[in-house]
A and B are shown apart, each in its own frame.
Chain A
Amino acid sequence: MSTVDSVRNRLDTLPDVGLVIGFIASIWAVMLVLAIAVGGANWANLAAGFIGSVTVLMGGYAILALALNLQWGYTGLFNIGIAGFMAVGAYTTAVLTAPTDPAAGAVPGLGLPLWVGLIGGMVMAAIIGGLAALPALRLKADYLAIVTVAFSEIIRLVVNWNGLAEVSLFGVPFGTGGATGISFKSANEVASTFINGVGQPIVAAAEGVGVSGPNLANLTYGILLLLVVAASYWVLARITNSPFGRVLKAIREDETVTQSLGKDTRRFKIKTFMIGCALMGLAGVLFRGQAGYVSPQQFRPTITFYVFAALIIGGSGSNTGSIIGAATFSGLLFYLPARLGENVSLGGTRAPGNIIDAVAGLGSLDPLPLLAYTISNISTLRFVLIGVVLIYIIQNQPDGLLGHRNEPATSVSLDRPQSGSGGETDE
């Protein structure tokens, strides 16, 4: 039938880990082919650059989609304040880890080690998430959405506020940097130090084929992010495939019934919301703050809607689907078109200045102007593409790529236990 169906059928036959690895590897392969096609002699460096960037994007969106899947896909908590909780995590880490003696003009921080900063960021995001959830829990589901989006904007405006740019508490100076943002020692730097230290032979080998140091460091960081994705996936799979996860699904389906069966649904909702927000906070640092710098502009609400798009494409309610959706969204719909537009040119045809000139070419049966126009404006037009894909998915596969799958919320196999008599033996 439809292409989505045939893709789905093929996806269904693979085990989840193989599925995810295969999917990411094929996106890498696409990037590699593109780099070879347009890179000429420089293809290896270009490929490393493409693959590194796409991996970081996929990793960042995968963590966010997994977190949203726990809140929205499993529990039905409609959180449209993702950007705000990312900002809480990123800013907390930044303030905790920024050097106490910064360069001139920059904001000092507390100078703590990065791991303390990461944990601090997650804890703070969880606490703020819990606070956001508290008033909304007394209200019906839709109010949570309003509260979260308000929270997210409040957070962005607070960190943007000059009054907190640099303050002093008990004689210790720190701050958010206001609109200019704050610099800190980033996880990316750690990856870079790592690859240039222990990984020196790899760097040498990579430079032999023309891959530059920064590109290799970025690629290393991307792979590091994928490890964080793997760890998050492992934790979330355990959370959701358990009696706890079963209650979450039940809350999504019918909260009154869940309460009538003896579950204090408010406690489950708060816990879930806090876990999800902690993960969003982590993604805030590792993804948005990867370059060791955060500013309020990085946490606009658009990212919230990107994460929803990724999760809807992948299939809400499925952890594996969250990762596949994040990879599809960020790799194929977001990153790939932009690189295509930059690197593909149509021989001699120059792109017309506006859409009318482009369409006019069709009148004389010349499609090239329109094609050239499309390619040169693709980084804008990809948002149309994302919209079209979303509409297609919502109309034809409302469950997304993997949301139709039944991932039972239990820690054990649900098959009838063998009762000796006449039961076939499992080999």
Chain B
Amino acid sequence: MSEPDAAPRQETAVTSDAIESPLLEVDGLRKEFGGVVAVDGATFSVAEGSLTGLIGPNGAGKSTTFNCITGIHEPTGGRVTFDGQSITGLPPYTLANRGLVRTFQIARELSEMTVIENVMLAPGGQVGESVIRSVTPGLRGDVIEAETAVRDRAWETLEFFEINHLAHENAGNLSGGQRKLLEMARVLMTEPEMILLDEPLAGVNPTLEEKLLERIHELRREQGLTFLLVEHDMDVIMNNCEHIIVMHQGSVLAEGDAETIKSDERVLEAYLGGDV
């Protein structure tokens, strides 16, 4: 593969206050759990085709924001717009079918299913998901045809992430890093427009981290996918994301490219407790 680190920041210049052609817009998002306000009026946009980073100290509300965007939690207030349409409070399956998918902070493989079953589950609109079609002899031809196509694509995807040798292994037997790769392979099979990655590199060794980032850049370049990335590793965010959103105490503290963020006093303060 070509060097991935050349890709960022040479794309369209994105400034903190005006994003051209936003794919995802979050406006005044609010989520309360009982008396606790986890997200407090977060507002930001993600440009189409970008690799945007979302950072913030622990408890800043990043994961809750993710959960509200992807329909796992229903937001208490605010609006989420995807591809020009409001998706506020829609269930996860509707969002996935519209092209907005996510991975989980702790990889959630379907452990008693094989790797290839995991991957073949993902594509949307499979004809064989209808009982009648899967059972009735006359209608089953379409199912077989579709299954064959899905299987072939699954093998290609597994090869892309270099986990094809594990195809028939139960997903529960995979190592932590392999599970992260499997999650990526799985969301990719849904043919998404945008992928939300919740700490995809946590607990991943440097070699695998390199591999994962390489894949992300390749998918951006070649398929025009949009990524929103939550990550704790500052270097990864700074080196890979052309646009960075910093959250603190449930709202957006700062936005901009790596240089802007690095030199922002408030960001340093939020991370280091004002001791700089």
Q: Output the least CB separation between A253 and chain B (Å).
A: 4
0/1 interface trace, chain A 398-423, chain B, CB 8 Å (1 if under): 00000000101111101011000000
**Is B16 in the interface zone, CB < 8 Å from A?**
no
- Residues from chain B with Cβ under 8 Å of A306 in the complex: none
**Is A339 in the interface zone, CB < 8 Å from B?**
no
Contact B140 A239 (CB under 8 A): no
Within 8 A of A (CB), among B127-150: 127-131, 134-135, 140, 143-144, 146-148, 150
Contact B93 A259 (CB under 8 A): yes
Known: A254-B110, A257-B104, A275-B131. A417 touches B120 (CB 8 A): no
- Residues from chain B with Cβ under 8 Å of A409 in the complex: 113, 117
- How many residue pairs, one in A and one in B, have C-beta atoms under 8 Å apart? 133
0/1 interface trace, chain B 50-82, chain A, CB 8 Å (1 if under): 000000000000000000001110000000000
Please name the residue on chain B nearest to A417 by beta carbon.
B152
Contact B190 A262 (CB under 8 A): yes
What count of chain B residues pass the 8 Å CB interface test?
48
**Is A307 in the interface zone, CB < 8 Å from B?**
no
**Is A244 in the interface zone, CB < 8 Å from B?**
yes
Contact B126 A249 (CB under 8 A): no
Contact B102 A250 (CB under 8 A): no
- Residues from chain B with Cβ under 8 Å of A412 in the complex: 144, 147-148, 151
**Is A271 in the interface zone, CB < 8 Å from B?**
yes
Within 8 A of B (CB), among A239-273: 239, 242-247, 249-250, 252-254, 256-265, 268, 271
- Residues from chain A with Cβ under 8 Å of B144 in the complex: 411-412
Known: A243-B126, A262-B96. A408 touches B117 (CB 8 A): yes
- Residues from chain A with Cβ under 8 Å of B228 in the complex: none
Within 8 A of B (CB), among A181-208: none
- How far, in whole Å, are A268 and B146 apart by their CA atoms in the complex? 19
Select A261's contact among B117, B135, B168, B190, beta carbons within 8 Å.
B190
- Residues from chain B with Cβ under 8 Å of A254 in the complex: 108, 110
Contact A411 B110 (CB under 8 A): no
Residue in B71, B147, B148 with the greatest tally of chain A CB atoms within 10 Å: B147
- Residues from chain A with Cβ under 8 Å of B164 in the complex: 416
- Residues from chain A with Cβ under 8 Å of B126 in the complex: 243
**Is A300 in the interface zone, CB < 8 Å from B?**
no
Known: A250-B110, A254-B108. A243 touches B190 (CB 8 A): no
Select A262's contact among B124, B140, B143, B168, beta carbons within 8 Å.
B124
Contact A414 B113 (CB under 8 A): no
Q: Output the least CB separation between A319 and chain B (Å).
A: 14
0/1 interface trace, chain A 83-114, chain B, CB 8 Å (1 if under): 00000000000000000000000000000000
- How far, in whole Å, are A244 and B146 apart by their CA atoms in the complex? 13
Known: A244-B129, A257-B104. A417 touches B117 (CB 8 A): no
Known: A250-B121, A253-B110, A259-B92. A414 touches B167 (CB 8 A): yes
Please name the residue on chain A nearest to B131 by beta carbon.
A244
Select B151's contact among A252, A260, A262, A417, beta carbons within 8 Å.
A417
Contact B151 A261 (CB under 8 A): no
Contact A247 B186 (CB under 8 A): no
Residue in A252, A260, A408, A416 with the greatest tally of chain B CB atoms within 10 Å: A260
- Residues from chain B with Cβ under 8 Å of A264 in the complex: 91, 93
Contact B128 A243 (CB under 8 A): yes
**Is B111 in the interface zone, CB < 8 Å from A?**
yes
- Residues from chain A with Cβ under 8 Å of B24 in the complex: none
**Is B116 in the interface zone, CB < 8 Å from A?**
yes
Interface residues of B, dominant DSSP: helix
- Residues from chain B with Cβ under 8 Å of A416 in the complex: 155, 164, 167
Report the contact-size class of chain A (Cβ under 8 Å from the partner): 35 or more
- Residues from chain A with Cβ under 8 Å of B114 in the complex: 406, 408, 414
Contact A250 B113 (CB under 8 A): yes
- How far, in whole Å, are A84 and B70 apart by their CA atoms in the complex? 39
Within 8 A of B (CB), among A277-314: none
Contact A257 B110 (CB under 8 A): yes
- How far, in whole Å, are A239 and B133 apart by their CA atoms in the complex? 9
- How far, in whole Å, are A238 and B112 apart by their CA atoms in the complex? 20
**Is A235 in the interface zone, CB < 8 Å from B?**
yes
Contact B128 A244 (CB under 8 A): yes
Please name the residue on chain B nearest to A246 by beta carbon.
B121
**Is B46 in the interface zone, CB < 8 Å from A?**
no
- How far, in whole Å, are A64 and B270 apart by their CA atoms in the complex? 60
Q: Output the least CB separation between A168 and chain B (Å).
A: 38
- How far, in whole Å, are A235 and B131 apart by their CA atoms in the complex? 10
Contact A258 B121 (CB under 8 A): yes
Within 8 A of B (CB), among A201-249: 235, 238-239, 242-247, 249
Contact B113 A262 (CB under 8 A): no
- How far, in whole Å, are A264 and B126 apart by their CA atoms in the complex? 13
Q: Output the least CB separation between B22 and chain A (Å).
A: 22
Contact B128 A261 (CB under 8 A): no
- Residues from chain A with Cβ under 8 Å of B170 in the complex: 406
- How far, in whole Å, are A180 and B111 apart by their CA atoms in the complex? 50
- Residues from chain A with Cβ under 8 Å of B124 in the complex: 262
**Is B260 in the interface zone, CB < 8 Å from A?**
no
Known: A243-B134, A406-B170, A414-B168. A253 touches B93 (CB 8 A): no
- Contacts A254-B110, A262-B92 supplied; 11 other A-B pairs, CB < 8 Å: A238-B134, A239-B131, A257-B104, A259-B91, A261-B190, A262-B93, A275-B131, A408-B116, A410-B117, A411-B147, A414-B116
Q: Nearest 8 A-B pairs (CB), nearest first?
A: A262-B96, A243-B128, A242-B134, A253-B110, A259-B92, A243-B126, A412-B147, A262-B124
**Can you list 10 A-B contacts with CB-CB less than 8 angstroms, sorted by A residue number?**
A253-B112, A256-B108, A259-B92, A262-B93, A262-B96, A262-B124, A408-B114, A410-B120, A412-B147, A417-B152
